[in-house]
Amino acid sequence: MTDQPELFTWEFATDPYPAYAWLREHAPVHRTRLPSGVEAWLVTRYADAKQALADQRLSKNPAHHDEPAHAKGKTGIPGERKAELMTHLLNIDPPDHTRLRRLVSKAFTPRRVAEFAPRVQQLTDQLIDGFVEKGEADLIHEFAFPLPIYAICDLLGVPPEDQDDFRDWAGMMIRHGGGPRGGVARSVKKMRGYLAELIHRKREDPGDDLISGLIRASDHGEHLTENEAAAMAFILLFAGFETTVNLIGNGVYALLRHPEQRERLQASLAAGESALLETGVEELLRYDGPVELATWRFATESLVIGGQEIATGDPVLVVLAAADRDPERFTDPDALDLSRRDNQHLGYGHGIHYCLGAPLARLEGQTAIATLLRRMPDLRLAGDPADLRWRGGLIMRGLRSLPVEFTPGR
């Protein structure tokens, strides 16, 4: 590609990687107008991306966005509309971020996630039971979409009879993420009301779930307020949902398009090994990860990234998908190599906002992929890959549907 590529077109949504290769080479810190009309800097090289993700002069607080008054609230930048649920980890800076992250880390521990493994396996098997006899399925709607929502609801302590409401609200958010705001706003409102009530109930009658853990968590005598606990539960749901849908969707799709890699993985799973599954899921994140662009950052002072001056108030978007294909950092970056070891990808971010849910995402991703391949060993794409449609969101990258077929099993 020699000419500057057009961004945010249909072709770009289908395969953004050639455009990212061009940007990395010719305009590694590139100012562009986003579909919402906001102008932002795109950072595409690995070294610059890593630096920007950890740079404390780039704030996560949308109040630092310098935008014309007439555009306020219309840019699609989350958190601009002052809402209680929006004062969460991804929209705040130290010292508030440090305090909240320390408190949530006391409740959302790697141990809690490890103990959750049998439940994730059970949910995975139940969902597969629902379609395995048909010999065909849409893996997004019937599997990748419900699995993370049920898993997070369970972990948080949302009673089973209420989980389908969450499934509906989440469906509304994922379908209309970048589109009409009315339905999304209503879903967020319902979720907020529900979470506030649930937190209230758990305070009266605590269990061993994560919401009770959030309420109990204390640090030097400090606790989360009810509002902070609700915002935390909301961001856990929100950050942990569509990302995991796309990890499973993009991951399975990449495996189906690389038969020799998929056969290696199947052979290693059949031999009872887990090493290739573990490196493999990391590689799927690097190769075609769920988070295409890290969430918004805003310059609190003028600074230089990759030789480019960024003015105070300017929005900066770190393009994780571009950084993770940078040939300066990864050998043969456009190849999928499940056994890749030197693989410090940025799929979970970097620095103080590094993904809090990474252990849960790994657990869900590994369980989902291993179980699908074990129970449907001849899983294959149904139809032409050219007919697949990608969601055109800005931050996330994922398929709208993934039709597959296989020999009906049990």
Exposure b/e, 118-135, CB count within 10 A at least 16 = b: eebeebbeebbeebbeee
Which residues of this protein are in contact with ligand HEM, per CB under 6 A?
53, 89-90, 101, 152, 235-236, 239-240, 243-244, 247, 285, 289-291, 294-295, 347-349, 353, 355-357, 360-361
* Least gap, CB of 277 to ligand HEM (angstroms): 15
- How far apart are the C-alpha atoms of 292 and 53, rounded to whole Å? 14
Cβ neighbourhood burial of 380 (10 Å; 0-12, 13-18, 19+):
exposed
Q: Give the span between the Cα atoms of 273 and 379, in whole angstroms.
A: 20
| Backbone conformation region of residue 37, classed left if phi is above 0, alpha if psi is from -120 to 50, else beta | left
Q: How far apart are CA 219 and CA 236, in angstroms?
A: 20
The whole-angstrom separation of Cα 17 and Cα 334 is 9
Is the Cβ–Cβ distance between 310 and 41 less than 8 Å?
yes
What H or E segment, with its residue span, contains residue 405?
strand 403-405
C-beta of 73: minimal distance to ligand HEM in Å? 21
Nearest CB to ligand HEM, comparing residues 187 and 295: 295
Instruction: Count the Cβ atoms, other than its own, within 10 Å of residue 239.
Output: 20
CB of 334 to ligand HEM, least distance (A): 19
Written as one string, the DSSP assignment of 219-263 is: BTTB---HHHHHHHHHHHHHHHHHHHHHHHHHHHHHHHT-HHHHH
Q: How far is the CB of 201 from ligand HEM (least distance, A)?
A: 21
Nearer to ligand HEM, 170 or 356 (CB): 356
Provide the minimum distance between the beta carbon of 308 and ligand HEM in the complex, in angstroms, as a whole number. 20
CB of 357 to ligand HEM, least distance (A): 2
Cα 298 to Cα 58: distance, rounded to the nearest angstrom? 5
Q: Which residue minimizes CB distance to ligand HEM? A: 357
Q: For residue 325, which amino acid is it?
A: R
Closest approach, Cβ 113 to ligand HEM, in A, equals: 9
